[in-house]
Each structure stands twice: as C-alpha cells, then as structure tokens.
Copies of this chain bind each other. A is one copy, B any other.
Amino acid sequence: MCEKVIEINFGDSLSNLSLKASSLKCPPPFLLKTYELLEEGSEVEDEMKIVSWNEEGNGFVVWSPAEFSELILPRFFKHNNFSSFIRQLNTYGFKKISSKRWEFQHEKFQKGCRHMLVEISRKKCEPSVFPSYLKSCSEENGMANNSSVEENNDNNHELLMEENKNLKKERMELQMQIAECKALEMKLLECLSQCMDRQQNKVRRLC
C-alpha cells in the first residue's frame, strides 16, 4: 500500500530536519485504515451510519459499537474487538471527548487532511514508572522525569547534557553491580554443588 521511504539528500540539514518524520513517510497502518474506514463510513445515509466524521470534521464518532466491531473492524484489522481499537487510539494519543457517545479526537486527525496523518506517532512508553521494589532507586533520580514540559530549549540543552553524563555514569555502575551479582551467583552455585556432594559422601561413609 505504501511506497518505500525515499532518501533525499538536500545538502541542507535544516531542510532535512523539517522534513523529518513527515511528508516522505507513509502514516502508520492503523491511522491510514481508520481514516479510510471513516471516508467510507461517512458516505452512508444518517440513519444507517455506523461510524463517521463528526459535524466539525475534527473528530469522529462510532455510532454503533456493536455493528462497528462486527462489520467494520474485521474488514480493516485482524480482530473484531472494540477494546483493541480503543487501545490503539490511546496509543496514538486520541482523546475521548464525549461521555455521551463514542467520539474521539486528535489534533492531527481531521476530515480531508490525510496528509497530516504522518505527523501522528505512537506514544512511547517512557521508563518513568518503576516497579515498587525499584522505587527507591528511581527517586534518587527524581529530577529527570519532570523535564517533559520543556519551555526553555537552551537551558534544557545544558541540563540534558548533564543528565546524559550522569545517566552514563549510572549505567556503568549498574553494569558493575550486575557483574558482581553474576559472580556471586556462580560462587553460590559452586558452594551448593559442593555442599550436596559432601552430603552424599558423608552419608556414604557413615553408612
């Protein structure tokens, strides 16, 4: 469906930067399929509508989740679960904007704007949340997670460099810890093995 990404060297890093992740790439399959099922679904007469763009064209509505799941989803995706569809919407940053109906919105997902789809990307799972037993570790580095607002780039740049340096140091320390752990593991296994051997021998001798 999509063509390969074409590499173009503009000999101009600014152009390259602004084109990054935009017009040369095709949108993720999920977004394209959702856009296409809306194009198709919006053509139906009102009474029969299962899914369509909303009035403003800046979002869409699933009018009948049951029919949507049974009839539409399997034609576009490899499943017929409404919840899996919702999970994907959330992954791509869509918001449910009504409590009364299944209406979703994303800034870059609008009627007639297929070209904007490439600007939408999956939310990546940031390692900010640690399991409880690691919490004390993560709290030491508490500053790190607050920086997501990023109002000031210059200032941020220095902070970032500092943080990266610290992270690398930390990485080295953690790697050392792991190496020590592994070494201890080996020793313990050796001990255990010896202990079991001795046990056998003593029993034999004493018998």
What are the interface flags for A161-197 relative to B under an 8 Å C-beta threshold, 1 for contact and 0 otherwise? 1011101111110111111011011001101100110
Residue from A137, A167, A207 having most chain B Cβ neighbours under 10 A? A167
Complex contact A178–B174 (CB within 8 A): yes
- Number of this chain's copies in the assembly equals 2
A158 proximity list for chain B (CB < 8 A)? 17
* Stretch binding the partner chain, chosen from A22-30, A111-119, A198-206: A198-206
In residues 20-79 of chain A, which contact B (Cβ within 8 Å)?
78-79
Q: With an 8 A cutoff between CB atoms, is A142 at the interface?
A: no
8 nearest interchain CB pairs?
Answer: A181-B181, A127-B172, A167-B167, A174-B174, A78-B78, A206-B206, A188-B188, A199-B199
- List 12 other contacts, CB 8 Å, given A134-B179, A174-B178: A126-B165, A126-B168, A127-B169, A129-B179, A130-B179, A131-B179, A133-B175, A167-B167, A171-B171, A177-B178, A188-B189, A188-B192
